[in-house]
A and B are shown apart, each in its own frame.
Chain A
């Protein structure tokens, strides 16, 4: 805590911390604790049976797997998009900038319907993919496609400002010191953007875990094969089984929270490593 006494910009650390806790409590913790309370109407055996049903297990696997895959794809291609946007000036660049944010703004149901139209067997992409023997719509691949779509802006928008901060001089300096382009990327650039990439990954991943609107259109919702966890929750609600719905939600919440916590720790570790490097 010694650090904070010198770096303080806003007055009243205690007050602002207190307010931050209060705000988080009101907006995040209170509603979530309501969720937990609702599940307490179930006995432990009922809870366990609900959350370990074969359909639930299949849905966890699909939701976490597809979200992870989508976030990974976005890390690779999001970095590429961010790089292009930062390092090059080209006609239509503003258009690309706006396109990147579009998945944020588009209602997810519209995204889902559009993607399904494109990827179904008679769609623009689907008919060619089908010929190659690759089915996308109504499979788990389709789920990952929808999640990739909605997650893209998170990676681009977190990596972009960091890339902007890295001067082109740094690359030139690396080159004058005899580094190959590959070395420059892996040893100089990549470590600097790794924390931002991790943040982007986390955001895209977390967003994907909770996504419902776009996925239900493209997934086909087949039990044990293409049901995502949010759909199971809706299914329970349709049966007026509030406790069952919250039980699954609680598992989802706990798993998401542990994963996000783990990624945040990883993020801090990579950040510290960056800080510790000479020259920073």
Chain B
């Protein structure tokens, strides 16, 4: 009897110690803490969003909200949440990683992506090329990447979520061009990867390889990373080339149901994600080089985001799970592209 009575007390006090302000946070209390588990290149975006949302929420509900951010590779972040990291919301690079929160740990329902507008991706990006100043190799479109003597930098799609978008963009281009088929697409991607001298494990690694090591003629990158590189890091050293066709990259967001219900933070967490769809949130996304979903905000920034013919993962690959299984899992197309070249 005695033992039983102190166990919950001990657990409660442990919980209170481990997450100050989290254990007792509820919709009615005066302060709430949220943890946003995100991927690498969103650090600056979310520090702005967090400040803006805190103001917005306090004005609306009179509740102080502190949002903590965690960044890392998208897959690694998803695994941390699966293994018990108390994320209230996840904002990751690809839907496949979010799907795993359902498949591996039942943290969210299977239809999570229908809960918010636009497949639960409040902002988008696409895959573009970065070339050296003056575009010495005359790179204009995907076709130029498979030419002899052109070296291409892209990270390893097996370890980098971002690189999977790059790979699928190339595949989709080859598949959809006149006369394209699965076979020609595979041949195209195989040819492309022959021009890749190094496979960094993450997208930032590839950017470093291209920008600092001077390796490669073309870097395949997310548009927001490309902007960062050309406007902030390497001003006047690089140029962006937008291909004729590319993929619509939709980095999804969701509330982690099990965690918000346990912590009593659902109201704030859901409002936080909805805030991303507000004009203010959309403006911040545009400021940080993501394409806004809102037509009105997008129109204001139209000059910065050239129009590209964009296809989605669902259009071409039937969704992330199918794409992952066919291309990136063990024995998938990516492995087959490499194995015949064994010495």
Contacts and interface: CB of A to CB of B under 8 A. Distances in A.
B198 A222 contact: yes
Contacts of B197: 138, 220, 222
Nearest to A237: B79
Given A224-B343, A238-B159, A121 B215 contact: yes
A224 B328 contact: no
A239 interface: yes
B159 A235 contact: yes
Contacts of B342: 54, 58, 224
A221 B201 contact: yes
A217 interface: yes
Contacts of A221: 156, 159, 198-201
Say which size band chain A's interface belongs to. Answer: 20 to 34
A214 interface: no
Contacts of B341: 224
A53 B75 contact: no
Contacts of A138: 197-198
B201 A120 contact: no
Contacts of B201: 216, 221, 231, 234
A237 to B, nearest CB: 7
Interface in A217-259: 217, 220-224, 231, 234-241, 244
Say which size band chain B's interface belongs to. Answer: 20 to 34
A241 to B, nearest CB: 7
Interface stretch (B17-25, B176-184, B205-213): B205-213
B7 interface: no
Contacts of A244: 330
A249 to B, nearest CB: 15
Interface in B254-268: none
Contacts of B10: none
A208 B323 CA distance: 35
A122 interface: yes
Judged by DSSP, the binding face of B is loop
A112 to B, nearest CB: 10
Contacts of B343: 224
B11 interface: no
A234 B200 CA distance: 13
Given A122-B214, A220-B197, A238 B75 contact: yes
Contacts of B79: 237, 240
A143 to B, nearest CB: 13
Given A113-B208, A234-B201, A239-B328, A224 B338 contact: yes
Contacts of A241: 329-330
A120 B159 contact: no
B339 interface: yes
B213 A121 contact: yes
B158 A238 contact: yes
A117 B329 contact: no
A215 B285 CA distance: 35
A216 B159 CA distance: 11
Contacts of B103: 240
Interface in B92-140: 100, 103-104
B215 A120 contact: yes
A123 interface: yes
A239 B197 CA distance: 23
Nearest to B155: A221
B205 A231 contact: no
B44 interface: no
A199 interface: no
A117 B159 contact: no
Contact of A222 (B159, B199, B214): B199
3 cross-chain pairs, A with B, having the tightest CB-CB distances, nearest first = A220-B198, A223-B338, A120-B213
Interface of B: 73, 75-76, 79, 100, 103-104, 156, 158-160, 197-201, 205, 208, 212-215, 324, 328-330, 335, 338-339, 341-343
17 contacts: A58-B342, A113-B208, A116-B213, A137-B213, A216-B200, A217-B200, A217-B205, A221-B198, A221-B200, A222-B198, A223-B335, A224-B343, A235-B159, A238-B159, A239-B329, A240-B75, A240-B100
Given A123-B213, A224-B342, A231-B201, 17 more contacts: A50-B330, A55-B339, A58-B342, A120-B214, A122-B213, A138-B197, A220-B198, A220-B199, A221-B198, A221-B201, A234-B159, A234-B201, A237-B79, A238-B75, A238-B76, A239-B324, A239-B329
